[in-house]
Amino acid sequence: MLKEKGLPTQVLIPSESGNKNNSIDWHTVYVVVSAVVVSIASLYASYSTFEIAQSYGLAIAYTATWLHLPLTYFSSLYVIWMAKQHPIMAWLGTVSAVLNALLVVGGAV
Amino acid sequence: MNYMTPALAQKQRELLDQQLQDHRANDTRASKLLWLAMLITFLLYLAFNLHLYLGDPLTWAAYFVEWTATIGFLFMLGLVVLMAAFLSWVKHHAYLHFGFYGSVTLVVVTVIGFALFAEFFSSSASQDAKSNAMLERNSAYKATLQAPTAPPVDTGLALQLASAQQKLAQCQTRLASGKEKHCNGDAAKVQALENAQSTALSAQVQIAANTTKLNHDRQDKLKADSYNPVIVFMAQLLAGNGDYTDYIKAAVVIIMLIVAVAFEILHHFLSRSKERSYAAIKHLELELAKLTDSSTTLPQPSTKQPIGFTQNPRSNAVLSPEPPVLNTVPDARFKYQDDEKAKFPMGFAIPSPTKSTDARLGTAEHQLSIPQISSFASELTKAGIPFPRDPVLNKTADLASINRIIGKAQNPRSNAVLSQEPPVPAPVPERQTAEEKISNPSNFALLQKYVMHERFDAAFIAIATGNTKCSQKQAMKIHAIGGDMAGWLMIILEAWGIITEPNTNLGNTRTLIQALSREQAQAELNDVKTEILGN
């Protein structure tokens, strides 16, 4: 009936990022993807530390992981908690988390 | 005309409550992250100090060989732990301080600079230690440490040369006794054998050198590969087509720089985030308090605009006796559309400027306005007349006295009454005076709230004594008060004749008329409280 009269049949509700209904909320996508990436980075850093400790002992694990493991956790928490309010800083946090997780692992020898 | 119905007020309260909860949650998260960052900073400084004072942790076993070395080690260990705790605590305190009062550039540079240095130092040492630890367990690397075996010497050639030299000597003996015609054959043989031996030795030396070089290259390659793959990748990028093993150290520095800078930026931003959350919480609490006050007067016509909007001054000029109409969309305006209100961006209405027909001060037809609570200091200042600070004159002088003072100041040769001089057309004042704003009954509740605020006294005295620059922004920053409260603080100070009105020619800046002593400032503050709070 409304359609026949050319009236809108759907109420458009603006979201936080200004998107309308039936469109992807990229802000939410960004927040979720960032959270997933840093979660994986944290798990990878934890596993790498465990593996190094098993192979080389705790002393080497301490030397190898140094502060990269806690820095990974810090950056991950930062992204998970702050990505919604501060997306740009969260991007830096994601980079930091991934880089620190990769730095935990040892060399190829 | 604007009416706030109970339903609207309730919804507004709910929205503000939700915002308040969000900001409180954000503030809590920022606090927790700051604590975590402090812990990491402690570990960072600890690692730095341990490397600096005690060396690589993997070599600490040497400290436990003798008891004297052990005691020294334990003493230094305690020292570096305390130092790391102190430095990290100072950094944490600085960031908390920045969250309340804004950052101080020198402190930020010092804190971040030292943290970056410490992180560089310890991270580079840690990467090297990790690489060495892994190399020690690598059999291929151990093999390269063995001295390369020299190629075997050709003993047959030496024997042949010795035999040829013997024959040549015998031949030369016989040649001397005339038994031989010449020894050219034996000499040529010796020469040939010597050449062959020389060539063989050169080849042996060349082979040994090549073997050593290959061994060193292998060592370098193994050393480089013992580093983290990210570092190796960065070294390969830096080297381009060259040998990446020469760029390992540079790659370590660059990677650690990225890590350290990222951490420091995130850490510093936490204090900014906390600062914003804190300001938002205070603002929202104030808005909720205002809403509570306004709800007690419902359904009276509201002279305050709803949050985020201001009522068009034209519609407030005359209060219509017509029944309330809620739909006042054509009259609703955003705050930024109103220049006067934009100076007080916290969401409540400053009364719109009313066109006054009073003549400007300092002219013959000047008529001073005498508000309910007022000082004449700003009127005199406005007229460009220097005057001594006199609390009695400031508060109690009658109109004639003020006129006399103005007349003397502007025309010292004549003590004639100003009203008898020929009239001079004066421009219409465009700005509502501080006295008029304060004397507006609709602002009383707000004024009382701000005057009773816990930070009002300190901010008032600091500005009046000249300790704080008399600008709204500085007051907000240094005393951690909202823009709304800072704006009213400036109006009160102006009304009491302590600071000037905003100078439009200098970007609406105010200046302190005369710095008061602390006792005088306290007396003025007491006067303000007496006038506004009525006690």
Distance from CA of B149 to the nearest CA of A (A): 25
**For residues B407 and B415, is the Cβ–Cβ distance under 8 A?**
yes
Helices (H) and strands (E) in chain B, counts: 19, 2
Token pair recorded at residue B152:
């075997």
Chain A, 90-109: which have a CB under 8 Å from a chain B CB? 92-93, 95-96, 99-100, 102-103, 105-109
Residue type at B467? N
CB spacing of B225 vs A109 below 8 angstroms: yes
Q: Give the mean pLDDT per block of 10 residues along chain B (535 residues).
A: 70 87 90 91 88 80 86 92 92 84 79 82 75 77 73 78 90 86 88 89 87 83 84 90 85 88 89 86 86 62 45 41 42 44 42 42 41 48 53 49 55 45 49 76 81 86 86 83 86 86 77 84 86 75
Distance from CA of B103 to the nearest CA of A (A): 18
Instruction: Indicate the domain borders of chain B.
Output: 16-138+249-277, 155-225, 377-533
Distance from CA of B484 to the nearest CA of A (A): 24
Cα nearest neighbour of B270 on chain A: A78
**For residues B146 and B219, is the Cβ–Cβ distance under 8 A?**
no
Cα A107 from chain centroid (whole Å): 26
pLDDT score for A93: 95
CB spacing of B226 vs A106 below 8 angstroms: yes
Residue type at B224? A
pLDDT surpassing 90 at residue A97: yes
Cα nearest neighbour of A83 on chain B: B26
**For residues A100 and A44, is the Cβ–Cβ distance under 8 A?**
no
Q: Where are the beta strands (DSSP E) in B186-257?
A: none
CB spacing of A56 vs B133 below 8 angstroms: yes
Chain B, 4-43: which have a CB under 8 Å from a chain A CB? 26, 29, 32-33, 36-37, 39-40, 43
CB spacing of B266 vs A103 below 8 angstroms: no
B499 φ/ψ angles, rounded to the nearest 5 degrees: -125, 165
Chain A, 3-22: which have a CB under 8 Å from a chain B CB? none
Q: Which of B43, B131, B266 sits opposite A70 (nearest CB)?
A: B43
Distance from CA of B342 to the nearest CA of A (A): 25
SS3 A4: coil
pLDDT score for B402: 54
Q: Report CA-CA distances (Å) from B529 to A104, B113, B288.
A: 62, 47, 24
A68 and chain B: CB distance < 8 Å anywhere? yes
A73 and chain B: CB distance < 8 Å anywhere? yes
CB spacing of A67 vs B265 below 8 angstroms: no
pLDDT score for B79: 93
Distance of alpha carbon B360 from alpha carbon B423, whole angstroms: 11
- Chain B residues close to A49, C-beta within 8 Å: none
**For residues B288 and B16, is the Cβ–Cβ distance under 8 A?**
yes
Distance from CA of B1 to the nearest CA of A (A): 29
- Chain A residues close to B266, C-beta within 8 Å: 74-75, 78, 89, 92-93, 96
pLDDT score for B54: 86
**For residues B60 and B54, is the Cβ–Cβ distance under 8 A?**
yes
- Chain A residues close to B236, C-beta within 8 Å: none
CB spacing of A63 vs B58 below 8 angstroms: yes
Half-sphere CA count of B455, side-chain side, radius 13 A: 14
Most B CBs within 10 Å: which of A52, A71, A75, A94, as the mutation test of the B interface? Answer: A71
DSSP character string of B124-192? HHHHHHHHHHHHHT-HHHHHHHSPPPPPPP-HHHHHHHHHHHHHHHHHHHHHHTTS-S--HHHHHHHHH
pLDDT score for A81: 92
Distance of alpha carbon A62 from alpha carbon A93, whole angstroms: 23
Distance of alpha carbon B171 from alpha carbon B179, whole angstroms: 9
CB spacing of B134 vs A107 below 8 angstroms: yes
Distance of alpha carbon B47 from alpha carbon B55, whole angstroms: 10
- Chain A residues close to B141, C-beta within 8 Å: 109
Distance from CA of B31 to the nearest CA of A (A): 11
Q: Where are the beta strands (DSSP E) in B257-338?
A: 309-311, 332-334
Distance from CA of A3 to the nearest CA of B (A): 28
Most A CBs within 10 Å: which of B59, B130, B234, as the mutation test of the A interface? Answer: B130
B129 and chain A: CB distance < 8 Å anywhere? yes
B233 and chain A: CB distance < 8 Å anywhere? no
Comparing CA positions, the residue from B474, B477, B109, B112 lying closest to residue B266 is B112
pLDDT score for B48: 85
Q: Which of A63, A103, A107 sits opposite B225 (nearest CB)?
A: A107
pLDDT score for B495: 85
Distance of alpha carbon A79 from alpha carbon A82, whole angstroms: 5
> What DSSP designation does B307 have?
T
